[in-house]
Structure 1
Amino acid sequence: MSIHKKSKRVTAETLRTMKHENEKISMLTAYDYTLAKMVDASGVDAILVGDSASNVMAGHETTLPITLEQMIYHAQSVVRASERALVVVDLPFGTYQSDSQKALDSAVRIMKESGAHAVKLEGGKNIKKSIKKIINAGIPVMGHLGLTPQSIYQFGTYKVRAKEEEEAQTLLEEAQLLDDLGCFALVLEKIPAALAKQVTQKISIPTIGIGAGAECDGQVLVLQDMLGMTHEFKPRFLRQYLNLYDEITGAVTQYVKDVKDGGFPNKNEQY
């Protein structure tokens, strides 16, 4: 039996405690049952059912096309696989930005229909009312500042954010706002490491970085990126722990050859 099966479920409060005890937080994305099962068994603290499923699972250029129904489907699969990790689900583009009641309805659907433990929203003061309404309903919220992929057409680029003083100051203020509103954690994406350190020291909730340096309270990567399945995506912040693209294509190539040659199945592989 995996030692992690005996561990208690990680909660939003667990992550806050980890920050105050200087224990780093590990988070990875997952979108399906099979991979989520492996990630959970490996002892990761949190699993993010990211709207990056739009890119990774569906092949879209951006995260914008994925729907609430599709996010719920992915979240259901991950929740069924997870016995220990905190499961956080992205609210997709268009489900929370314009209307706080719509934001609450979207979050409630995710929690009720998937069994997830928290939701994540991109933005600061522009979505203040939505965050407040969701938290007031008893749903834990993870914030997200810096590069916010749902706003890609506004930014026009995936380059590092908040390098200039004015944007950095705004980010610091918005991080404090999210802390004050009651978010339990904050993702910082593609910002200078020195700024991420400032934010981490300033706010009481844990920061989880992706391309934001080593001083954050935790780190998150897209699973398929760190396993080397999305082999053409190699930003500076990504460490590839495997090269599954070559491993898998090699195995499939061998399978095709064996079938064509009549080598599969052999006598021991039939009834």
Structure 2
Amino acid sequence: MKKPNRPTVADLLAMKAKRQLSMLRVTTLEEAEAAEAAGIDLISVPFELIYDPQFRDAAPGRFTIPGGEYGQIGATTDEILRSAVKLRAASADAIYCAAGLPTIRRLREEYIPVCGHTGLIPSHATWTGGFKAVGKTAEMAEYVLRQVKDLEAAGAFSAEIEVVPAEVATAISERTSMLLLSMGAGAGCDAQYLFADDVLGMNRGHYPRHAKVYRNLAAEFDRIQRERTAAFAEFADDVRSGAYPEARHTVAIDEQEFAKFLDGLDRQRNLA
């Protein structure tokens, strides 16, 4: 079967303001395969997944942006560039980067598509007051707009805009040529971005305000774990009682052949 063509950066930019795109953070081959089958437009993945040789078999048509903490915990521009080149060679369509503007410019100079980040940036949250919404005052809304315009000028083609008031995010989206990927920033951006764990109901603790749970897989995994534990306990009981293994679980030997084997053992004992 012919594999679907993945959209290009140019294709995605041509869709701006025409239709909403869907985006998920997926972390396993199974989730990537499900995103492919479901027609999710964009996926974010950890580095190890993009390097998995089975990844593109699972998600051949998904525009994929690997993301990680490099560039946020001390990596130099050269190290980030080296990593980005490897990721692109491994079939990444773009690179998530929350490093400084000089690094983003450097990646763009090498024609590497960059997705930046604005609003609540977890690794930079100390600058905006911690893990809370950004842009709820006119001053902070202007701050987010400046971030977006700086990213645009540096050459990023898109940016995740996280936990920004919907009205603010919409106004900013209308004033940038970049694709804005909304994580809790309303429907006025270009894509809606959620984590697969939230969509699947895999979290057992706090869900962010913007998350929407579509399935309760945590309960299913709890059920499977109970079944797993019960099966292990039954096996242990069978071993202790002698109920396992039964004859049907072992391989038989012809009686005459076994007798020859025992004779050989007796001869060896006598020689010793």
The TM-score normalised by the length of structure 1 is 0.78
1:138 Cα deviation (Å)? 1.4
Aligned letter for 1:121? C
Aligned letter for 2:146? E
1:154 Cα deviation (Å)? 4.6
The range that moved more, 5-14 or 139-148, is: 5-14
User: What's the CA shift string for 1:88-113, capped at 9, x where partnerless?
Assistant: 0124244686743333223223223x
1:261 Cα deviation (Å)? 4.6
Q: Aligned equivalents of 2:142 and 2:42: distance in 1?
A: 29
Aligned letter for 2:96? K
Q: Aligned equivalents of 1:233 and 1:239: distance in 2?
A: 12
Q: 1:251 to 1:98 in 2, by over 3 A?
A: closer
1:184 Cα deviation (Å)? 1.7
Structure 2 residue runs without a partner (length 5+): 239-248, 251-272
Q: Which residue of 1 aligns with 2:208?
A: 235
Q: Aligned equivalents of 1:152 and 1:167: distance in 2?
A: 13
Q: Which residue of 1 aligns with 2:270?
A: none
Q: Which residue of 1 aligns with 2:50?
A: 75
Alignment equivalent of 2:166, drawn from 186, 193, 198? 193
Q: Aligned equivalents of 1:189 and 1:79: distance in 2?
A: 28
Q: Aligned equivalents of 2:175 and 2:76: distance in 1?
A: 30
CA contact (8 A) 1:160 1:190 kept: yes
Alignment equivalent of 1:10, drawn from 7, 12, 28? 7
User: What's the CA shift string for 1:141-182, capped at 9, x where partnerless?
Assistant: 111101111224555621111222222112112212222333
1:260 Cα deviation (Å)? 3.5
CA contact (8 A) 1:79 1:116 kept: no
The 5-angstrom pairing of residues 10-29 of structure 1 reads 10-20=7-17, 22-29=18-25
User: What's the CA shift string for 1:216-269, capped at 9, x where partnerless?
Assistant: 11111111111011131312110001111011111221343345457x9xxxxx
Alignment equivalent of 1:107, drawn from 64, 84, 88? 84
SS at match of 1:202: coil
CA contact (8 A) 1:191 1:212 kept: yes
Aligned letter for 1:246? A
Alignment equivalent of 1:181, drawn from 154, 160, 171? 154
Aligned letter for 2:218? Y
Q: Aligned equivalents of 1:24 and 1:172: distance in 2?
A: 21
CA contact (8 A) 2:41 2:63 kept: yes
Q: Aligned equivalents of 2:73 and 2:106: distance in 1?
A: 11
Q: Aligned equivalents of 1:249 and 1:165: distance in 2?
A: 46
CA contact (8 A) 2:128 2:134 kept: no
Q: 1:6 to 1:102 in 2, by over 3 A?
A: closer
Alignment equivalent of 1:34, drawn from 24, 30, 33? 30
The 5-angstrom pairing of residues 85-164 of structure 1 reads 85-94=62-71, 99-112=76-89, 114-122=90-98, 127-155=100-128, 157-164=130-137
The structure number with the bigger radius of gyration is: 2
Q: Aligned equivalents of 2:61 and 2:104: distance in 1?
A: 26
CA contact (8 A) 1:96 1:106 kept: no
Alignment equivalent of 1:208, drawn from 164, 175, 181? 181
Structure 1 residue runs without a partner (length 5+): 51-70, 265-269
Q: 1:256 to 1:97 in 2, by over 3 A?
A: closer
The TM-score normalised by the length of structure 2 is 0.78
Paired positions, count: 239
Aligned letter for 1:18? M
